[in-house]
Structure 1
Amino acid sequence: MSASRDFFAAYDALLARWPAGTAEIDVPTPYGTTRVHAYGAAEAAPLLLLHGGGSTGAVWFANAAALGGHHRVLAVDILGDAGRSARSGRPLRTTADLMPWLDALLDGLGVSRAGLLGHSYGAWIALTYALHAPQRVDRLALLDPTQCFAGYRPGFLLRSLSVLVRPTTTRALRYLDRETAGTDTDPQWKRLFALAVSDVPDRKLIVGRRPDARALRVPLLVLLAGRSGAHDPEKVAARARAAVPHARIETLPNLTHYALPTATPTTTNRLIAEFLRPPGGGQRSSGA
């Protein structure tokens, strides 16, 4: 992944905030090498974390310690996006490529079955994968998921043009400041995102169809940002509830789309941990 020194300096600064004992793992797949930040007991139940576009796996620094108490946290730099994953071998172009990439990633990690946690674009990948390989997904948690249950607000797409057309770090930071106003979104992460937008010219996110969640059978948690500019959270909640009646749906009233997962992490971590914890509070091992 071609990127500037400033980007990697910001990436490393965020990664330095992960808890002591975090390991860096490079997993070869037919589509390239995937970087994974791993924290928690090796024998604990695996939890695969998929970040939003441009965020990198380092964004989960405020969640790793809390979630790693009962799980083996495995935070991915999504292949094709900014970070330390590197494409090679087979081209990664469509949803049909993303699914075997994740199969190969789990195989390379020695994981037969895992919980999935995704934000935004990562939530779309997580839901799509849970429908693709339900036998490999234990539980599914989605943070303000985009293109899963409803489309984007037109105004959000118009505002986002500022960071898609002739992107600069300054323009991206101004965009994030507007989109996270009134929240305690982490400033170091905002800088990393801005540099991902401006200084990683070959990042390419895969865009696919909205998945049909009606076939989902695994336990589902949806955490919505009550002030999300990306979509109408009430519409998302209603459609998620209609598609997946067994889903647990919660709204974080003061958060915006980009505030997750770094803002008010105590509340977010508590809700996710409660959902993921098995009956009786023990640990499940889902390794190979």
Structure 2
Amino acid sequence: MAFDRSAFLSAYDTLLDRWPVEVGRIDLETPYGTTRVNAAGPAGGPPLVLIHGGGSTAASWWANVGELARRSRVFAVDRIGDAGRSASGGPQPLRSVEDLHGWLDAVLDGLDLTAADLCGHSYGGWIALSYTLSRPDRIDRLALLDPTGCLTGFSPRYLLRAAPVLARPTEARARSFLGWETGGIPLDPDWARLYGLAMSFPAARPVTGPRPAAGALAALPARCLLLAAADSRAHNPRTLVARASRLLPQAEVRTLEGVSHHALPYTRAEEVNAALTGFLER
């Protein structure tokens, strides 16, 4: 299916228009291209950087930003190389984990942030954790929402279901996959529309790396919150919780009942928001 850029951008803006706070749109030039950041909240508030999951875009935080922006200056980032309003094309291609960390360095520098709180969902959680381990002086608090690739592998059944969407993406296939992973719950139509269109976005192959070593996780200096989706089909949530409790002894580990992997962070948003704001205020 050919990518319909006009429809995608319209769907992106439709979801962004639902943010219940004033949004500042920032385009940062980095060595890897232009990064779009959607900013909200008090200018003097503690900085909080949000990294979306694969294909979700920064607009996907619409159900959370209102509460988060009461305390924090929120910066929701569109990852370069993924669906969104960021654009690759800088003098340096983003190919390695160190490039990924360098890109996030450039984002924080462009926002004039020496340090910040960091929250990531899914693949964004892996980025957030690996960055924090690599740049411990730049992250104060770390929140991981059902992170993938950090402590568990993907479920074979999940990969099998995702394969047709990745091989020949269409909006219908993407929505069917979402329906399976979320257990058939009613999906927000604007979000499902954007996600379906994002599957055809001409994105780069995600940069990945090995799971962090046990010693590195045990020595993680940042305060950490991990929220596991009890109904996640991306991986085994019980395994995620058990390993997080063992390998991240300094972390607060909680399970969100009635939530699947892709339904985060907007399903049961009140619980997600209460957990995040409580953690950030401590």
Same fold (TM over 0.5): yes
Choose the corresponding residue for 1:270, options 246, 268, 274. 274
How many Å separate the matches in 2 of 1:250 and 1:127?
A: 17
Q: Does 1:157 align with 2:159?
A: yes
* AA of the residue aligned to 2:72: H
1:113-166 CA distance string (max 9 Å, x none): 100110000000000011011100010000000001111111111111121111
Contact 1:114 1:139 in 2 (8 A): yes
Q: Corresponding residue for 2:223?
A: 219
1:133 matches 2:149: no
Runs of 4+ in 1 over 6 A off after TM superposition: none
- Residue in structure 2 matched with residue 120 of structure 1 by the alignment: 122
Supply the RMSD in Å over aligned alpha carbons: 1.2
The answer on whether the counterparts of 1:184 and 1:264 sit within 8 Å (CA) in structure 2 is: no
Deviation at 1:182, TM superposition (A): 4.7
Look up the match of 1:197.
199
CA contact (8 A) 1:163 1:175 kept: yes
- Structure 1 position 214, deviation (Å): 2.7
Asked if 1 retains the 8 angstrom alpha-carbon contact of 2:179 and 2:185, the reply is no
2: CA distance, partners of 1:32 / 1:167: 25
Residue equivalent to 1:255: 259
Amino acid at match of 1:17: R
1:240 correspondence with 2:241: no
Query: Could you tell me which residue of structure 2 aligns to residue 52 of structure 1?
Result: 53
Q: 1:183 to 1:56 in 2, by over 3 A?
A: same
**Structure 2, unpaired ranges of 5+:** none
Distance 1:211 1:190 in 2: 32
- The amino acid that maps onto 2:49 is L
Counterpart of 2:142, as a letter, is: L
In structure 2, the residue corresponding to 1:189 is in which secondary structure? helix
Normalising to structure 2: TM-score of the pair? 0.95
Q: 5+ unaligned residues in a row in structure 1: which ranges?
A: 279-288
Equivalent residue, structure 2, for 1:283: none
Question: How far apart, in 1, do the equivalents of 2:134 and 2:45 lie?
Answer: 24
Q: Deviations over 1:186-235 (max 9, x none)?
A: 2211111110102x123432222212323312111000100110111111
- 1:286 is matched with none
Q: Secondary structure at the match of 1:258?
A: coil
Q: What residue identity is the alignment partner of 1:156? A: Y
Residues 103 and 177 (structure 1 numbering): CA distance in 2 closer, same or farther, change over 3 Å? same
Separation of aligned partners in 1, 2:281 and 2:203: 38
- CA deviation string 1:22-41 (max 9, x = no partner): 10001111111100000001
- For residues 24 and 204 of structure 1, the distance between their equivalents in structure 2, rounded to whole angstroms, comes to 26
Query: Quick one: distance in 2 between partners of 1:26 and 1:256?
Result: 32
3-state SS of 1:9 partner: helix
Structure 1 Cα separation of the partners of residues 109 and 39 of structure 2: 15
Mapped to 2, the partners of 1:103 and 1:245 lie a distance apart of 27
Q: Which amino acid aligns with 2:250?
A: H
Deviates more, 1:243-252 or 1:183-192: 183-192
Question: Match of 2:145, as an amino acid?
Answer: L
Task: Compare 84-93 and 180-189 and name the one that shifted more.
Answer: 180-189
Q: Which residue in 2 is equivalent to 1:284?
A: none
Higher normalized contact order (CA 8 Å, seq sep 6+, divided by chain length):
1
Q: In structure 2, what is the Cα distance between the partners aligned to 1:153 and 1:277?
A: 34
Structure-2 residue corresponding to 1:282: none
AA aligned opposite 2:168: R
Paired residues of 2:37 and 2:76 also in contact (CA < 8 A): yes
Look up the equivalent residue of 1:229 and give its one-letter code.
Answer: R
Distance (whole Å) between structure 2 residues aligned to residue 76 and residue 3 of structure 1: 22
Residues 1:79 and 2:83 are matched in the alignment: no
Equivalent residue, structure 1, for 2:44: 43
* 1:208 correspondence with 2:209: yes
